[in-house]
Amino acid sequence: MAEDWSAEEVAATVADYFAMLGHELRNESYNKREHNRHLRSILRGRSAGAIEFKHANISAVLIELGFPYIDGYKPRSNYQELLRDEVTNRLEGAISLQDVAAEVVAAPILELPVMRSLADVIVPTPVRDSDRREVYERRQPSAQRLSRVNYLEREARNTSLGRAGELFALEVEHRRLWEAGRRDLAGRVEHVSNTQGDGLGYDIHSYDTAGQERLIEVKTTNFGQMTPFFASKREVAVSEDRATHYQLYRIFKFSGSPRIFVLSGSLRQSCVLDATQYRASLP
């Protein structure tokens, strides 16, 4: 059985991850293999796989803190408390990293990305690691440990990004139906959040190739596919009431190379829903 990581090993690994994350947020090139090789020269006896696993643990902590993560390191939540402490403390002091994250999540979308083939854009729904649900529910960080700014929630409020994602999904729907030979239905696709308002619980009224309704809610992020999204009470309710027609299009890596995975039916069935705020009324 491998020994637990020491405080020195954890600190070196978190520092390396933060350096890579800074490059990624700034769209600067870097080499993950070189970073891994350098860490192995410092952490004697730790394998490349062990270091990658620890980087995946760091991704999980950052997501829980509402901060962007490196997409190449899929979050794994079975981590040491020591690791969470190190990530939390280092993030609080990483002012320049927080600044660039704030710029990224608030940046306006000036033009839509170029549409590629549907086969490239629409990808399978990611599968969570088998241990993730159990550990995630057991290890919710306490309120005092959370970052003061939830950058993922702030990105979700970026109306420019949200609007651009809806327009991209609208283009995907037109092309999907057009290429399937249902040009009649393609012409009937409606951007209802624009024409009827955003209170319906979905953004696009579309159809499958058999002519059945498809109610599409669009959630867009510039970060990786495991980035949490935020759903309103209305969206969750509609996904349950009209489950056979409801689909959530999760667009990720939007400004770089956008891809979409689809969650069908009730969000309570396809996701783990956590309450993020409460309405308080006087008794």
Instruction: Please give the structure tokens belonging to residue 72.
Output: 């190449």
- Look at residue 12 in the predicted model and tell me its pLDDT: 97
Give residue 3's pLDDT band: very low, low, confident or very high (50, 70, 90): confident
* 178 pLDDT above the threshold of 60: yes
Which helix (H) or strand (E) segment holds residue 281: the answer is: none
Interstrand relation of 213-220 and 246-252 (parallel, antiparallel or unpaired) = parallel
User: Are 189 and 173 within 8 A, CB to CB?
Assistant: yes
Instruction: Please give the structure tokens belonging to residue 90.
Output: 């280092």
* 37 pLDDT above the threshold of 90: yes
Residue reference for tokens 């901060």 = 67
- Look at residue 8 in the predicted model and tell me its pLDDT: 96
Rounded distance between C-alpha atoms, residue 71 and residue 3, angstroms: 27
Between 282 and 261, residue with greater pLDDT: 261
Nearest partner of 2 among 41, 53, 37, judged by Cα? 53
Across the chain, what does the average pLDDT equal? 91
- Look at residue 118 in the predicted model and tell me its pLDDT: 94
How many helices (DSSP H) and strands (DSSP E) are in the chain? 13, 4
Give residue 145's pLDDT band: very low, low, confident or very high (50, 70, 90): very low
Which helix (H) or strand (E) segment holds residue 33: the answer is: helix 32-42
Rounded distance between C-alpha atoms, residue 48 and residue 5, angstroms: 14
pTM for this entry: 0.90
Give residue 139's pLDDT band: very low, low, confident or very high (50, 70, 90): very low
* 134 pLDDT above the threshold of 90: no
* 279 pLDDT above the threshold of 90: no
Diameter over CA atoms, the chain: 64
Which helix (H) or strand (E) segment holds residue 222: the answer is: none
- Look at residue 45 in the predicted model and tell me its pLDDT: 87
- Quote the DSSP letter at residue 226: T
